[in-house]
Amino acid sequence: MNSEKLRVGIIGANVNYGWGPRAHLPALKGLPDVDLVAVCTAHEETAKESAEKYDVPKAFHDHKEMLGQSDIDAVGVIVRVPLHHRLTMDALEAGKHVYTEWPLGANLAEAEEMAELARRMQVHTMVGLQARCSPALLQLRELVEDGYFGEVLSCHMTIFGSGVLSRPAGRTWQRDVTLGANTFTISFGHGIDALCMCLGEFKEVSAVISTQVPQWLEIDTNQMVDVTSPDNILLSGVLESGAVVSAHVSSVPWHGGGFRLDVFGRDATAVLEAEGGAQISSVSLKVGKGDDSGLADYPISAHHSWVPDSLGSGPPYNVGQMWSRFARAVQRNESPEPDFDLAVKRHRLIDAIQRASDTGQRQTL
């Protein structure tokens, strides 16, 4: 790097929709250790609109032209999952450090290819599993590692999000399971990664994965479309530590219950809750020791937050934490967490859970 700040270009910066303007662009503009120097969208007009709104000096509608800029250190690939592979591979081949949203690829093979190229190019990578930068989850991991709970015996996770009966035509592409963006890969993927971060990896898994709503209504065309993407995932498993795990992640028609993780140890219990997914919402942490009268709010250590308070507690916050961590890793030439290799591990877990459901047999990892 030729600058004290990480100089970033974002692919997927259309100000009118998407995760880029909802989280990444406001996060990047609020960070003191990152300089957003370029945006790229598929069309010249939207690229210019984004650059003007976020006061970014360069706008591109050809990502390869942007990748050729020597004053860009790192690239964010913040687009629909089916485009992750091609755009990420192009960015890696250009020698850029790369942050790609989760899921890394539409499937395990794509993820493995991206991770292998990143190692060969010797660049730093990060995947958007941003629950790993949630202060409450970082606090839970610290407590577990410090032995606060004693032996962790069991845990239970639920994530219930609303909205599977109808969608506009622009979002019904997610009905196709082969495109890699659905309740299993996204909601479940983020949630189970948060669980693994705090409590450790799985040793074995059993599962039932189903599509309870096999058709969606396209609200703007008034047509019913067939759905192959799963909307319910029930998991039981055993962690490497020996703790037993149950989880139910679902897209439900109305009034979802958000995220909840219950952790039970020999010495203490913890409950974490969020209105939405743990990766995008502010998470609360309540803890109780065995001789306490009940659970109480647990204070989150200041060292788990390293971005300005001005980012607020919504979607930009955890994303800002991720980009700040990424910038620090690049500056220090350290491997950031979570990188593409971690993403491959998570893709492999998802594949094992799918096999468990398909075969009805427990899978060993």
Same domain, 169 and 262: yes
- Domain interval for residue 98: 6-130+318-338
Residues of the chain with pLDDT under 70: 1-3
pLDDT of residue 171: 86
pLDDT of residue 21: 86
Q: What is the CATH number of the domain that holds 124?
A: 3.40.50.720
Q: What is the 3-state secondary structure (H, E, C) of the chain?
A: CCCCCEEEEEECCCCCCCHHHHHHHHHHHCCCCEEEEEEECCCHHHHHHHHHHCCCCEEECCHHHHHCCCCCCEEEECCCHHHHHHHHHHHHHCCCEEEEECCCCCCHHHHHHHHHHHHHHCCCEEEECHHHHCHHHHHHHHHHHCCCCCCEEEEEEEEEEECCCEECHHHHHHHCHHHCCCHHHHHHHHHHHHHHHHHCCEEEEEEEEECCCCEEEECCCCEEEECCCCCEEEEEEEECCCCEEEEEEEEECCCCCEEEEEEEECCEEEEEEECCCCCCCCCEEEEEECCCCCCEECCCCHHHCCCCHHHCCCHHHHHHHHHHHHHHHHHHCCCCCCCHHHHHHHHHHHHHHHHHHHHCCCEEC
Q: Nearest-CA neighbor of 103 among 345, 364, 354?
A: 345
In a domain, 312, yes or no: no
pLDDT of residue 1: 54
Same domain, 279 and 334: no
pLDDT of residue 3: 66
Decide if 271 contacts 295 (C-beta within 8 A).
yes
R_g of the chain, CA atoms, integer Å: 20
Q: Which residues lie across from 211 on neighbouring strands?
A: none
State how many domains the chain has.
2
pLDDT of residue 2: 55
Same domain, 179 and 261: yes
In a domain, 306, yes or no: no
In a domain, 247, yes or no: yes
* CB < 8 Å & 24+ apart, contacts of 84-89: 84/110, 84/114, 85/110, 85/113, 85/114, 87/11, 87/63, 88/114, 89/113, 89/114, 89/117
Same domain, 170 and 290: yes
In a domain, 305, yes or no: no
Same domain, 30 and 110: yes
pLDDT of residue 162: 85
Same domain, 32 and 153: no
Same domain, 152 and 190: yes
Same domain, 238 and 162: yes
pLDDT of residue 25: 95
In a domain, 323, yes or no: yes
Same domain, 123 and 83: yes
Same domain, 296 and 147: yes
